[in-house]
Amino acid sequence: MAKSNNIVGSWAFLIGLILAVLIGLVSDLNTPNTVYILVVIGVIVGLLNIADEETSPFLLSGAVLIIASSMGSNILGTVPVLKSILNALLALFVPATVIVAIRNVFTLARR
């Protein structure tokens, strides 16, 4: 999934995923600082972690994850822990997917 020479992006992805699950388990994203942390990590993942040949699979997977997390958090609202984890994953993957999508649009426009 990561570029072979980009250790920062790989670690950002792994740390972001673990952090999203832990934050979802422990809190309800009540403080803006936790959301900002996940968003910044998501931007780092989007900028550094996805190579050109990985763009289409990442965008498809990211879109599915965003839709499933959004719909799942609405449906699973009765289980607060699951709702919180899905919302934390949204805070991580929405910026990453948007950054990769914008990069893809610019790549397509250059052709």
**6 vs 104, which has greater pLDDT?**
104
- The least confident of 5-9, 24-28, 84-88 is 5-9
Q: How many CB atoms lie within 10 A of CB 101?
A: 16
Decide if pLDDT at 1 tops 70: no
Decide if pLDDT at 53 tops 60: yes
**42 vs 52, which has greater pLDDT?**
42
- The least confident of 5-9, 12-16, 65-69, 75-79 is 5-9
For residue 2, the model assigns a pLDDT of: 46
- Give the global pTM: 0.85
Q: What is the Cα–Cα distance from 51 to 30, expressed in whole angstroms?
A: 34
Domain residue spans of the chain: 7-110
Closest CA to 38 of 22, 57, 59: 22
**How much of the chain, in percent, has pLDDT values that exceed 70?**
95
Instruction: Give Cβ neighbours of residue 101 (< 8 Å, ≥ 6 apart).
Output: 59
For residue 42, the model assigns a pLDDT of: 93
